[in-house]
Amino acid sequence: MAAKKMLIYSSSPSPARQVTPYWKEKYEREAGRYWDLFYRRHKDKFFKDRHYLNKEWGRYFKAAEGEKLVVLEVGCGAGNTVFPLIATHPNIFIHACDFSPRAIDLVKAHKDFSGDQVNAFVCDLTQHNLNENVAPSSVDVATLIFVLSAVSPEKMPVVLQNIRKVLKPNGHVLLRDYATGDLAQERFTSKEQQISENFYVRGDGTRAYYFSNDYLTNLFKQNGFETDEISIYNKQVENRSRELVMNRRWIQAVFSLNSSSGQGSVDDSSSGSQERDVPRPGEDIHSKDHAVDAEIDMSESITEMFASSPSTNEVTDVKLKSYNFRIKGLHREHQHTCKSTGLMLWESAHFICNLLSENPSIVTGKRVLELGCGSAGICSMVAAQSAELVVATDGDDEALNILKENIATNVEPNILNKLVVKKLLWGNNSDLKDIKDLARDFEVIIGTDVTYNPDAISLLFKTARELISKDRHGEREPALILCHIQRRVDENSLLSSASSYGFKLIDRWFDGMESNGGIISSWFSVDDATCNCGLKSAPLTILYFSL
C-alpha cells in the first residue's frame, strides 16, 4: 500500500498574527527599497521568463497588419514578460515600468533590449503620474503579472486609475496573481507576518496580497473596468522524495474599460468566473478550460522552501569601530521559511555588539553568558576581548555548529581559550549542570532578540536566575541585559515574569528616548554614533535587570 503523502497546510487556517503599526508603516514607506534589494540579491535569476503568456493570451498581442501594438508592462522586474513578448511579436512596443531602479537597469542591460521596442522607466504607480512617460489613451494592453499583490490594498485603486488614463477605450488589462488559500498564505498564518486581511510581508520585506474572485472583480468594477473573464487555478505540487503535497493557487483575469461610465457594472453571468484544477503531468485534460500552463510564477520558490534547506553560506560583513567580522549564516530573507531563527544575524545583536565594542567596561574582567546567541555570536566575540570568560549558548545544534566556524574564522587564537560554546536548552537541568561546571555563576548575562516567543519567557528568566551570580563584584550588581526589536513582545508580561524569578528592572532604554542619566544612557557617546550604528530606523529596546 502506497504511503499517504503529507499535505502541507490544510484549508483550515489558524489566526494570523499582525505586524506592529511601526513595521506596517515602514514596509509601506520603503516598499521600493525592499524590491530594489530583492533585485540586487537575485538580479535576473529568480523569475522564469513567462513564455505562457502567448499561450494564455496570444490573441490580445496580435497587432493589425502594418500597425504596432502598444503594451504597458507594470512591475516589469528584470524583463521576464517583456522579452518573451518582443521575441514572439515583433510588431509590439512595450512601456516597461517598475519602482525598483535596479530592475530597470537589468531590463536595459538585457541582450535583447532595444530602445526602439522598449521604453523602460522607473515609476511607482501609487505615487507617480504614468502620463509623464506614457501618452493618454495610447496603450492597447496592460499586463499585471504578480505585481498588484505587492501594493497595499488601500493604494490598489490609485494603480488602476493610473493605468486607466493610458489605456485605449478598447484596451485590456491582463492579470495573473496570488489567490486566497495558496500554500504561501497558509504558511503566513503561523507567523507574525500579516499586515491586514489577506495581506502579508515576506522575510525580505516585500509584500504579497492574496486575491479572491469577488475582491478582484469589485476592485476593478469600482475603478471603471468590466470583467471579461476570471478564474482561480488550483495545482497540487508534489515533492516525491519528501512525500509532501503543496497547494498552489493563483488567479487569472482579463478586464476591459467600461464603455458606459467610470463606475461600470459587471455582468456576473458572462464574467467567466470559476475555479479550475490544473492537472498533474500525465493526467488527461478533458476541457479546453484546463489548457493552462502548469508553471506557477510564484515569488517564493517551492524548491527552496521545501525540497532543500536554504544555504547557510551567506556571508555578512559586520564593521565596528574596533572590529571587523565576516559572519556566515542564513540571509534574513529566509527568516520566515526556516524553523531556526538562530541561523541569522539580527539587528539587536548588531546593536549590543556595538555597545560592547564602545564600552568594554560592561564586561571587563567578568564572567559573561550569552543566551540564544545563534550562529553569529558577535556579542560573545566582542565580549571575549576583555572578559575573564565568555560562554556562548544556544539550543539549536545547527546554529552552534556554524557559530564554531564563525568563531574560528574571526577570533584571534589568544582569545579562543576564553570563549566557550555550549548547548543550552532553557530549563534543561543537564545543560545547566554543564554550564555550571564551567563557571559557578555569571556577572553579566546577555540576550538579544530572545523574547519573541511568549511561551519561552518564563524559562528564559528561570535559566538566568539559575546562572546569574548572587554576589556583587565591583561597583555594580550582576546584570541581565536584554535587547529586542519592538515586535509583539508584551513587555508587561515580560516584566511580570522577570519579577516572579527575583529580577528587578533597574534601567530601560528605547530608541529615540532622551538621556535619563541611567546606566544604559551612559553607554552612548555624545555624538550618538553608537546608538545609530546603521540601525537608526529599528525600534530597539534595552532592559537592564538585577536581582
pLDDT digit string, tens, across residues 487-544:
556 788 889 999 999 999 999 987 656 667 788 888 886 554 444 444 444 578 899 9
In a 13 Å sphere around the CA of 498, the CA atoms on its Cβ side amount to: 20
Give the per-residue pLDDT at 243: 55
Give the per-residue pLDDT at 10: 43
Give the per-residue pLDDT at 251: 92
8 Å CB contact between 90 and 61: no
CA distances from 327 to 256, 324, 402 (A): 52, 10, 9
Which cell goes with 448? 538579544
Q: Which helix (H) or strand (E) holds 242?
A: none
8 Å CB contact between 39 and 106: yes
Based on C-alpha coordinates, what's the Rg of the chain?
27
Q: What is the DSSP string of 448-463?
A: ES--S-GGGHHHHHHH
pTM of this prediction? 0.57
Q: Which helix (H) or strand (E) holds 250?
A: strand 244-257
Helix, strand, or coil here: 350? helix
Q: What is the DSSP string of 422-441?
A: EE--TT-HHHHHHHHHH-S-
3-state SS track over 56-101: HHHHHHCCCCCCCEEEEEECCCCCCCHHHHHHHCCCEEEEEEECCH
8 Å CB contact between 278 and 293: no
Q: Where are the beta strands (DSSP E) in 197-240?
A: 199-201, 207-209, 225-239
Q: What is the DSSP string of 368-390?
A: EEEES-TTT-HHHHHHTTTSSEE
8 Å CB contact between 273 and 231: yes
Distance of CA 284 to the CA centre of its chain: 38
Separation of alpha carbons 453 and 484, rounded Å:
12
8 Å CB contact between 405 and 396: no
Q: Which helix (H) or strand (E) holds 500?
A: helix 491-500
Phi and psi at residue 517, in whole multiples of 5°? 70, 10
DSSP state of 154: G
Give the per-residue pLDDT at 510: 79
Give the per-residue pLDDT at 175: 94
CA angle 345, 330, 488 (to 5 degrees): 50
Separation of alpha carbons 515 and 241, rounded Å:
57
Sorted by where each starts, the structural domains of the chain and their CATH numbers stand as 6-304 (3.40.50.150), 309-546 (3.40.50.150)
Q: Which residues of 19-45 are buried (b: 16+ CB within 10 A; e: fewer)?
A: beeebbebbeeebbebbbbbbeeeebe
Mean pLDDT by 10 residues, the chain (547 residues): 45 57 82 77 66 82 84 89 88 91 90 91 92 94 92 94 95 93 74 82 83 95 95 74 67 85 38 54 33 41 38 71 77 50 74 90 94 89 93 90 89 90 93 91 93 85 94 82 75 90 92 72 65 53 92
Which cell goes with 333? 530573507
Give the per-residue pLDDT at 300: 39
In a 13 Å sphere around the CA of 374, the CA atoms on its Cβ side amount to: 26
Separation of alpha carbons 413 and 52, rounded Å:
57
Give the per-residue pLDDT at 267: 39
Distance of CA 469 to the CA centre of its chain: 39
Give the per-residue pLDDT at 398: 85
Separation of alpha carbons 506 and 542, rounded Å:
11
